[in-house]
Amino acid sequence: MRRISILGATGSIGQNTIDLIRRDRDAYDVVALTGARNVAQLAHDAKDLKADVAVTCHPELLDDLRDALAGSGVEAAAGDAAICEAAARPADWIMSAIVGAAGLPPGLEALKHGTTLALANKESLVTAGPLLLATAAAHGATIMPVDSEHSAVFQGLIGEDINAVERIIITASGGAFRNWPLDKLKTATLTEASTHPNWDMGQRITIDSASMFNKALELIETKEFFGVRPDQIEAVVHPESMIHALVGFNDGALMAHVGPPDMRHAIGFALHWPERKPLPVERLDLAKIGQFTFRAPDLARYPALGLAAEVMEMGGLSGAAFNAAKEQALDGFIAGQIGFLDMAEVVERVLAKMSADQGLQNAQITLDNVADTDKAARRLASDLMQEMG
């Protein structure tokens, strides 16, 4: 039996992972499940899957979690440190599906124990890519990409020489506002931004898809994970969300990964790698789909893409500052404090200020430095939002 843990088990990726595990439950020994506020879901899944331990990141919810698990034999724990302890429990495969920078410390902890880390938490590559890869290498751990685009690139590279790669093209749906007139974007509401045309995902990544901050994170993620130069990475708008990414080789060939917009493909691929096993995803009927379309992303509509290019050039701790400012700005938008387009403005100003003042570019990427940069960027973003609001 394979021992597995799921960090962020109650979220969209976590629940899709559990769906796959449940279909073949005798094959897995579930070690730890973690969540946040949805203690009822966490307890339900932990009991159902007979996990050893369930952990919420909120210490004030420990009693609720204990009550929900009473008599089940599943251990309850709470707090950020308990999540890291859960990630350190021996397991063969760990899903990293916490949303945001909070996913970094437990992901690193898991890698220190030589496990295979299925990485949905793109923020850990954006904030601390070199640290994550070095930790995996030092401990003989494996990182498997779970973001659909990066899983697609990974699959396009099987049996290939990375030196023969000319470019990597990441597709983008264009999000909720891809057909809106530009001047209307200013007034976009939270409800409007929280609906994705193709994918069913958590609220934060859905809003990040509308602003293309998600694509911005993914471009940086591509650079960090595959080690290619920024000028080799492109984004193209592909409204159908069926081609997830393409790899272009030095002989002009483009290898495209085609599949339905269902995260269970990328999760299942990472779960079964290096084998392929049947997965419960739709089989595409290409004749019925008829056509795939593409267009260049409009940088005026999606300023996040321009910011990603800056971060890729800067390197160092700029990804940590970018991500933290983005998370804070997103909180501000969700809370109604700032407008939709203000998010990019906040991030741009934080990046400009921090790269001028603090030499983000040359700093060493340690967990402490990342945490300090994260804190400073959030503070700056809050101050800016107060000025703007």
Helix (H, G, I), strand (E, B) or coil at 8: coil
Stretch that binds Mg ion, among 15-23, 149-157, 261-269, 292-300 (CB under 5 A): 149-157
Q: Which residue is nearest to ligand NAD (CB)?
A: 11
Stretch that binds Mg ion, among 93-101, 145-153, 281-289, 357-365 (CB under 5 A): 145-153
Q: Phi, psi at residue 143, to the nearest 5°?
A: -110, 125
Of 9, 7, 49, 54, nearest to 29 by C-alpha is 49
When asked if residue 52 is in the footprint of Mg ion (CB under 5 A), the reply is no
Residue 225 contacts residue 250 (beta carbons within 8 Å): no
Name residues contacting ligand NAD, limited to 124-183 (CB under 6 A).
147
Judged by CB under 6 A, the residue of 12, 155, 318, 382 near ligand NAD is 12
Instruction: Count other Cβ atoms within 10 Å, centred on residue 138.
Output: 11
When asked if residue 83 is in the footprint of ligand NAD (CB under 6 A), the reply is yes
How far is residue 85 from each of residues 28, 46, 127, measured CA to CA in Å? 20, 17, 21
Helix residue ranges per DSSP H, the chain:
12-22, 39-48, 62-69, 80-88, 104-112, 122-138, 148-156, 190-193, 203-211, 213-226, 264-272, 286-289, 303-314, 318-334, 342-358, 367-388
When asked if residue 241 is in the footprint of ligand NAD (CB under 6 A), the reply is no
- Closest CB 199 distance from Mg ion, rounded Å: 8
Residue 385 contacts residue 346 (beta carbons within 8 Å): yes
When asked if residue 87 is in the footprint of ligand NAD (CB under 6 A), the reply is no
- Closest CB 52 distance from ligand NAD, rounded Å: 18
When asked if residue 147 is in the footprint of Mg ion (CB under 5 A), the reply is yes
Residue 8 binds what, of ligand NAD, Mg ion, none (CB under 5 to 8 Å, by partner type)? ligand NAD
Name residues contacting ligand NAD, limited to 21-60 (CB under 6 A).
35-36, 57
Binding site for ligand NAD (CB under 6 A): 8-14, 35-36, 57, 83, 97-99, 102, 120-123, 147, 199, 201-202, 204-205, 263
| Contact footprint for Mg ion (CB under 5 A) | 147-149
